[in-house]
């Protein structure tokens, strides 16, 4: 496995999902990331990766023989149309509905869709609304 670029200063360097069926995961994730315009980074006999998401079988060296538990991953979309397409592609690629595309109450402009992947993970595509030139970041209070 090779790394093309190393990014410093991120909160999360990479994530790993350990799945039961690698082919089912590929069938689900590869069309989603094509929709999100993120290319396949690479693959081997028991893994593949896209950007900083590493997906492997439990027999892969990095997995230590264990499946990951239910996880929620949210991927940024460039606009609402991309969120809609993400949902449509996910449903055709083995995903299950967990929230059709629409506005959510998390903050103004939060537009997202949620699907369950073949391993039970909650996968989201989100568009945070158009950029505001006067605001560098959105503060969310929980």
The span from the CA of 44 to the CA of 60, in Å, is 10
Let me know if domain 15-59+70-127 sits in CATH 3.40.50.300: no
Q: Are 68 and 53 in contact (CB under 8 A)?
A: no
The pLDDT tens digits for 34-65 are 999 999 999 999 999 999 999 999 999 888 88
Decide if pLDDT at 133 tops 70: no
Decide if pLDDT at 107 tops 60: yes
| Higher-confidence position of 46 and 4 | 46
Residue 6 confidence (pLDDT): 57
How much is the pTM? Answer: 0.84
Please provide residue 33's backbone torsions phi and psi, each rounded to the nearest 5 degrees: -75, -30
Q: Domain extents for the chain?
A: 15-59+70-127
């Amino acid at each position: 496995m090779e790394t093309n670029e190393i990014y410093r200063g991120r909160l999360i360097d990479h994530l790993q999902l350990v799945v039961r069926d690698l082919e089912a995961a590929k069938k689900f994730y590869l069309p989603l990331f094509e929709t999100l315009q993120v290319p396949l980074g690479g693959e081997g006999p028991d893994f593949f990766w896209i950007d900083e998401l590493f997906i492997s079988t439990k027999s892969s060296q990095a997995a230590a023989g264990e499946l990951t538990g239910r996880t929620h991953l949210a991927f940024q979309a460039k606009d609402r149309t991309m969120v809609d397409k993400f949902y449509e592609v996910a449903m055709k690629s083995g995903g299950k509905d967990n929230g059709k595309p629409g506005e959510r109450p998390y903050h103004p402009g939060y537009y997202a869709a949620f699907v369950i992947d073949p391993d039970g993970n909650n996968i989201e595509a989100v568009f945070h609304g158009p950029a505001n030139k006067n605001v560098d970041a959105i503060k969310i209070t929980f």
